[in-house]
A and B are shown apart, each in its own frame.
Chain A
Amino acid sequence: MANPHHDDTAPAMRDDAAAPARSETFQNPGLPPHVPRRADGDPKAAKRAEIQVVVLFTLSALASIAFVVAYFVIDPDLKGYLLGIGEINLFHLAIGVTMGVSLLGIGLGAIHWAKTLMPDEEVVEQRHPQVSGDDDREAVAQTLSHGWRSSQLNRRSALLGSAGGALGLFALPIVLPVIAGLGPRPQGLYTTNWAEGTLLRIDPSGAAIRAGDVTQGSVFHVMPDGWVGHEAVEEHGAEEAMIAKAKDQVILVRLDPSLIKSQKQREWGYEGIVAYSKVCTHVGCPVALYEQQTHHLLCPCHQSTFDMTDDCNVIFGPAKRALPQLPITVDGDGYIVAAGPFREPVGPSFWERERPGLMGVE
């Protein structure tokens, strides 16, 4: 203690002061006395509260009726302008707001009623420990033991073993067909519809591309011949057409050949025109954003960034691998065609990617 005087005068008084609180902890003082609300003592206030509740309930009823009226009267296509929100469908607005008011009227009315007029004195309920009594446990132990012994499991262990085995296996006939029937074994992950000589067509117009028409800085979204637009759906069916879109999509760009850093990239291209898979090597979104100034390709999903001048290697973001390049050349008529298929699987990584043998693919 900082003040030396304390010890001189303290002892007698300290004992005195500590006397009423000998125990280690404070005693729970019990529930505080009830503080009456205004409506408890003042009939006027109670009446006012009652009116407020009635108004809220009435408002709800009116809003419900207004909902029905709005539903039949307002044109569902009616548009209007609402301050702070902008253009809005007025039918949607009207039925939504009336529904909200109808519900809020009931809710707020009930709560206001409870808070002003219903008793606000808390009541006490006793708790009991969760644990059961010893006699309960004893009785359960007896019953279990009786069951175990009377079914002779204590003497005939073969029963237990065989029953366990049967129960363990019975689910198989039910589960196996479900699981095994869910899908085919993995296939098609190493192939696309690109092959040597496949014409590159602009999606969705379907036009073939002359090398001369590809100006510097232009960018095309390309699909293989036969897989473009409605015709693809009619010819191959919607499912095949969608799968093709998910795998075969290619981005075609013309770069200044002097900017290209990779010899392989130059060779697989044609006079600075290069084609790359548009499927992100991260989780497969289309790598759709091409920055013309920096020649970066950005995937909008997770921002993996690929450098087009450097064989589409990853320069930022969560992807690991470069986008696969599609080798291209020009056919006799001057149109750009694939010089061959992709040399590696396109799209997201998967476990067997480098070892097709694990999937039974040669």
Chain B
Amino acid sequence: MTTHVPQGAGHLRTDETPPERPASQTDQSSPDAKFPGALVWADERVGAAKGLRFALKKVFPDHWSFLLGEIAMYSMIIALITGTFLTLWYVPSMGHVVYDGDYVPLKGVGMSEAYASTLDISFEVKGGLLIRQLHHWSALFFIVGIALHAARVFFTGAFRKPREINWLIGVVLSLLAIIEGFAGYSLPDDLLSGTGIRAMNGFMMSAPVIGTWMTFFVFGGEFPGEAIIPRLYIAHVLLIPAILVGLFVLHLALVVVHKHTQYPGPGRTNDNVVGFPIMPVYAAKAGGFFFVVFGITALVSALVQINGVWVYGPYDPTQVTAGSQPDFYMWFSDGALRLLPGWLEFTLFGTVWSFNIFLGSLVLLPLVWVVLGAYPFLEAWVTGDKREHHILQRPRNAPTRTAIGAAAISMYLVLALACVNDILAIKLGLSINDLTILFRTMFFVLPVLVFVVTKRLCLSLQRHDRERVLHGNETGRIVRTPEGRFFEAHEPLDEFERWALVDYDTPTPLGLTQGPDVDSRGVARRRGPLAGAQAAVSSFFYKDAVTAVTPAELAAAHHHGEHDALESPSIPQLGAPVNDSTGDDDFSEGHGSAVQAPTHHR
């Protein structure tokens, strides 16, 4: 006979105190453990034992979504290692050479030294192609990892106090990562990368007032000049990586300071962190994961070719290929450039204002990151919440935020897909003009739809959680009463499962009448000029919140069920065999589960 009571739950029912941990599992240190001799030297000089004692005992919670940031971290390390290799052969020069290397189709073609050396890495340096592929793939995984990690942090509310600073650091890191990526893929100076630089030159030129000056200073003269590649190179291998690594170290240091967040669950509170200590479990898992990420990157690099720079030849400003797309992380910006209509450019007092260009590039890029950076502060303002938060929110329990995030992602995707409108048009046999118009429309329509749908989904999921807490899980057992009524028996949640579903709170909207209108001395409360706006946004966020089940509600629901049981006395017998194997203690709960169904199955 199956029992549906989870392991150990019965034990807790009879004994209120949590079970003692078996010493054999958690504490396996030997009583005569000695401080390693090799560390004595270091300890006497820098007090290494103090730091190690602290560091080795750090606890990290376990969850698959916490690995997303690790993917980014490890990919960055792989990119640093492989990038260092590449600098040994790459020549950051736009000086003119006539190619005389191993790649026959380009023999005798005039090209830059940068491109020639990239060909040499691909064809003459043994294993150089693999390093190049590893570098490019790890850079892509780096940015994918950052994006997924940022989404995880956003949708679980991990950016809330006290982690706003770390969110800001992460936002800057993500911006630097894509600038680093852009600078990197511009270096080979093949036709595709040169076309990317051409577009960059074009959108820098469009900036009002300073456009031409900025462009001439960055390019060291007229396009293309011979300065841009050496300059992108030093930015790519020194300036940006230095800032990137520095901020990344700070990012990790703050994780140590704050300790990692954790998902709601039994035993997890806002005042503790439950997980595995660095020594040995986390070290093995996280260290092993580095090798897994590296290994998968290596396999992908071996099997899937990326950026075959020899295919289109050297950069030539008079040539371009159809289907010129940047790396995926620049798609949204390039897509915006494709969608913005030409009439956004106009002349005012003889000066040219190219909103069709700088809106999608010079404005869009910073704007996205400013909005990202500002979000935690906006939400804190809307909730009026000043507490520290270490328990993550399940996305459904913050419906408006989740809907905003999903809407923003849909906007991003529309822009990104707009960047491949030519490919889509060919593959799908559609008119590129129709597609472009569709994307223009979708940019405004889709986020609204996605917002509404996501918010409704979240609220429904929250109600579903309430249902489960109040009435238990569906069991699939159809019970027939003597009168001929049918219902499905429900199984109540045990307290561990229940806790994960009820451990959240929903802010109430800040009203204009929040708090007393006069303070204790009878002075009218002052209201800032934005109080009205704050109340309105707060209401937008939280007015239709679904709150967590309270014990009183659960008791009422149980009672409700028992009442039905009294009406149909035969039910307990039908329900009993399923539950009675766990003993008398569970019998009363068995009632609840079996009998609540008749009025609640829908």
Q: A and B bound?
A: yes
CB proximity of A123 to chain B, nearest CB, Å: 6
**Any B CB within 8 A of the CB of A155:** no
B378: interface (CB < 8 Å) = no
Hey, which chain A residues are within 8 Å of B569, CB to CB?
Answer: none
Contact with A along B557-569 (1 / 0, CB 8 A): 0111011001100
Chain A residues within an 8 Å CB radius of B549: 26
B270-296 interface code vs A (CB 8 A; 1 in, 0 out): 111111110011001101111111111
Contact between A99 and B266 (Cβ–Cβ < 8 Å)?
no
- Check if B535 is an interface residue, CB within 8 A of chain A: no
A252 to chain B, nearest CB (A): 13
Residue numbers in B under 8 Å from A100 (CB-CB): 295-299, 302
- Cβ of B394 within 8 Å of any chain A Cβ, yes or no, is no
In the complex, the answer to whether B266 meets A350 with C-beta atoms within 8 Å is no
Closest Cβ of chain B to A9, distance in Å, is 7
Closest B residue to A111 using CB positions: B288
A156–B556 Cα gap in the complex (Å)?
72
Contact across chains for A129 and B388 when beta carbons are under 8 A apart: yes
**Count of A-B residue pairs with CB < 8 Å:** 400
For residue A203, CB closer than 8 A to chain B, the reply is yes
CB of B373 within 8 Å of the partner chain: no
Let me know if A243 and B225 touch, CB within 8 A. Answer: yes
Q: What's the minimum C-beta distance from B53 to chain A, rounded to whole angstroms?
A: 13
- Please choose the segment from A140-148, A183-191, A193-201, A334-342 that sits at the chain B interface, where 4 or more of its residues have CB less than 8 A away: A183-191
Asked if B203 lies at the interface with its beta carbon under 8 angstroms from chain A, I say yes
Interface residue B58 (Cβ < 8 Å from any Cβ of A): yes
> Which among A22, A243, A305 has the highest number of chain B CB atoms within 10 Å?
A243
Query: Please, how many angstroms separate the alpha-carbon atoms of A126 and B259 in the complex?
Result: 10
Are B226 and A2 neighbours in the complex by a CB distance under 8 Å? Answer: no
Q: For the complex, is B345 an interface residue (Cβ under 8 Å from A)?
A: yes
- Please tell me which one of the listed residues A96, A239, A354 contacts residue B130 in the complex, with CB atoms under 8 A apart: A96
Which residue, of A113, A119, A245, A347, has the highest number of chain B Cβ atoms within 10 A?
A: A119
Contact indicator A25/B551 (Cβ below 8 Å) = yes
C-alpha spacing A105/B270, complex, angstroms:
38
**Contact present for A125 and B272 (CB under 8 Å):** yes
Contact in complex: A34, B342 (CB < 8 Å): no
Flag if B274 contacts A110 (CB, 8 Å).
no
| CB pair A107 B495 closer than 8 Å | no
Identify B110's interface contact among A106, A126, A183, A230, CB under 8 A.
A230
Closest to A316 in B: B433
A76–B206 Cα distance when bound, in Å, is 47
**B277 contacts across to A, CB distance below 8 A:** 123
Using known A-B contacts A93-B302, A286-B319, determine if residue A114 contacts B284 with beta carbons closer than 8 Å: yes
Question: Within 8 Å CB of B276, what residues of A?
Answer: 122-123
A282 touches B318 (CB 8 A): no
Of A11-19, A164-172, A264-272, the one with at least 4 CB within 8 A of chain B: A11-19
Binds A, one of B245-253, B352-360, B400-408, B452-460: B352-360
**With contact pairs A6-B563, A351-B207 given, residues A186 and B213 touching in the complex (Cβ less than 8 Å):** yes
Complex Cα spacing A351 to B214, Å: 12
Q: Are A183 and B218 in contact (CB under 8 A)?
A: yes
Residue of A nearest to B291 (CB): A107
Neighbouring B residues of A122 by C-beta, 8 Å:
62, 267, 274-276
Q: Are B340 and A318 in contact (CB under 8 A)?
A: yes
Is the pair A351, B292 in contact by a Cβ cutoff of 8 Å?
Answer: no
Interfacial chain B residues near A3, Cβ < 8 Å = 563, 599
Contact B271 A126 (CB under 8 A): yes
Contact B388 A349 (CB under 8 A): no
Mark interface residues in A97-112 (1 if CB within 8 Å of B CB, else 0).
1011111111111110
Report whether B351 and A351 are in contact in the complex, using a CB–CB cutoff of 8 Å: yes
CB distance from B361 to the nearest CB of A (A): 8
Interface pick from A209-217, A255-263, A295-303, A323-331:
A295-303
Determine the chain A residues whose CB is within 8 A of the CB of B303 once the complex forms. 85, 93, 96-97
Residue A10 lies at the interface, judged by CB distance under 8 Å to chain B? yes
C-alpha spacing A285/B200, complex, angstroms: 10
Q: Which of B20-28, B43-51, B538-546 contacts A (4 or more CB under 8 A)?
A: B20-28
A43 at the interface (CB under 8 A from B): no
Contacts of B6 in A (CB 8 A): 32
CB neighbors of A among B543-588 (8 A):
548-552, 554-556, 558-560, 562-563, 566-567
| Closest chain A CB from B446 CB (angstroms) | 20
Q: Establish whether residues A108 and B292, one from each chain, have CB atoms under 8 Å apart when the complex forms.
A: yes
Residues of A near B567 (CB, < 8 A) are 5
Partner of A119, one of B26, B498, B502, B559: B26
Residues of A within 8 A of B316 (CB): 245
Chain A minimum-CB-distance residue to B264 = A28
In the assembled complex, how far is the CB of residue B497 from the closest CB belonging to chain A, in whole angstroms? 9
Q: Are B342 and A286 in contact (CB under 8 A)?
A: no
Q: Which residues of A contact B162 (CB under 8 A)?
A: 130
- Given known pairs A33-B11, A118-B284, A127-B273, the reply for A349 and B18 (CB within 8 Å) is no
Minimal beta-carbon separation of B196 from chain A (angstroms): 9
Q: Residues of B contacting A280 with CB < 8 Å?
A: 202
Residues of B within 8 A of A24 (CB): 550-551
Is there an interface contact between B221 and A17, defined as CB atoms closer than 8 Å?
no
- Interface pair B320/A14, CB less than 8 Å apart: no
Q: Which of B32-40, B331-339, B524-532 contacts A (4 or more CB under 8 A)?
A: B331-339
Given A96-B303, A350-B352, decide whether A233 and B110 contact each other with a Cβ distance below 8 A.
yes
User: Does A273 have its Cβ within 8 Å of any Cβ on chain B?
Assistant: no
CA separation between A347 and B291, bound complex, in Å? Answer: 49
| Interface size classification for chain B | 35 or more
Tell me, yes or no, whether A309 is within 8 Å of chain B by CB.
Answer: no
Interface bits A28-39 vs B (CB < 8 Å: 1, else 0) = 111111110000
Q: Does B230 belong to the interface (CB within 8 Å)?
A: no
**Contact yes or no, B222 A188, CB < 8 A:** yes
Assess whether B395 is interfacial by the CB under 8 Å rule: no
- A28–B357 Cα distance when bound, in Å, is 55
Q: Which residues of A contact B201 (CB under 8 A)?
A: 283-284, 348
Question: Nearest chain-B residue to A203 (Cβ)?
Answer: B318
User: A9 touches which one: B292, B334, B502, B563 (CB < 8 A)?
Assistant: B563
- B322, CB-defined interface residue at 8 Å: yes
Chain A residues near B258: list those with CB within 8 A: 130
User: Complex formed: what's the CA distance from A129 to B387 in Å?
Assistant: 10
Contact A14 B208 (CB under 8 A): no
Instruction: Give the distance in Å from the alpha carbon of A96 to the alpha carbon of B304 in the complex.
Output: 11
Q: When the two chains form their complex, are residues A17 and B273 in contact, meaning their CB atoms are under 8 A apart?
A: no
Cβ 8 A contact of B58, one of A125, A314, A355: A125
Q: Say whether A303 contacts B216, CB under 8 Å.
A: no
Could you tell me if A99 and B302 are in contact, using CB atoms closer than 8 angstroms? yes
- Of B8, B267, B287, B351, which is within 8 A of A110 by CB? B287
Q: Nearest Cβ distance between residue B428 and chain A, in whole angstroms?
A: 15
Is A6 within 8 A of B560, CB to CB? Answer: yes
Check if A319 is an interface residue, CB within 8 A of chain B: yes
Q: A183-B217, A314-B342 are in contact. Are A286 and B320 (CB under 8 A)?
A: yes
Cα distance A255–B12 in the bound complex, in angstroms = 89
Q: How far is the CA of A238 from the CA of B21 in the complex (A)?
A: 75
Cβ-closest chain A residue relative to B560: A6
Q: Would you call A317 and B338 a contact (CB within 8 A)?
A: yes
The 3 closest A-B pairs by CB, nearest first: A96-B302, A283-B202, A33-B8
> Given A238-B226, A301-B320, A350-B352, list of 10 further CB < 8 A pairs?
A25-B502, A26-B549, A26-B551, A29-B495, A100-B298, A186-B213, A246-B222, A283-B206, A320-B356, A347-B202
Could you list 24 A-B pairs, sorted by A, with CB under 8 Å? A14-B555, A26-B550, A29-B267, A32-B267, A32-B496, A33-B8, A92-B302, A104-B296, A119-B281, A121-B21, A121-B26, A123-B59, A123-B275, A126-B272, A183-B227, A186-B215, A239-B225, A282-B202, A283-B201, A286-B319, A320-B342, A348-B354, A350-B206, A354-B350
B interface with A by C-beta (< 8 Å): 6-9, 11-12, 18-19, 21-22, 25-26, 28, 57-59, 62, 94-96, 110, 126-127, 129-130, 133, 162, 195, 198-199, 201-203, 205-213, 215-227, 257-259, 266-277, 280-281, 284-285, 287-299, 301-303, 316-324, 334, 337-345, 347, 350-354, 356-357, 360, 388, 390, 421-422, 432-433, 436, 495-496, 498-499, 502-503, 548-552, 554-556, 558-560, 562-563, 566-567, 599
